[in-house]
Amino acid sequence: MQCPRLKRLLRDWYQQVRNYTLSPIKMMELVMRHIKNCEVCQNDRDLPFELEQLREIIRVPYNEKFQKMQEESFKNQEEEFLFEEEEKVLLKEEDF
């Protein structure tokens, strides 16, 4: 990567992705917007390869976090369901 501005921006954006304040997709949109307006980036022959590496890097942590969130949500749903069943059983016993 030859563009110092893009390097600085990438560091900032990547931190935001790691903090889950910026989505990886949005980050790549910002990168592409910068490249369209930057002569240094447009003339950098290695940039497409480096961008592909970047996509792989930012894809992994985000997906792991999302997967963990889904698992926690599923566990919470199971617990709520079990609790509701217990309530119903208690109500039926009181009716007798």
In the chain, domain spans: 4-95
**Predicted confidence band at 93 (pLDDT cuts at 50, 70, 90)?**
low
Give tens-digit pLDDT for 8-17. Answer: 999 999 899 8
Structure tokens at 47: 């940039």
pTM here is 0.58
Residue 87 in this model has a pLDDT that exceeds 90: no
Residue 78 in this model has a pLDDT that exceeds 60: no
Q: Choose among 36, 14, 38, 40: nearest CA to 27.
A: 14
What is the rounded CA–CA span in Å between residue 37 and residue 40?
9
Q: Name the 3-class secondary structure at 48.
A: helix
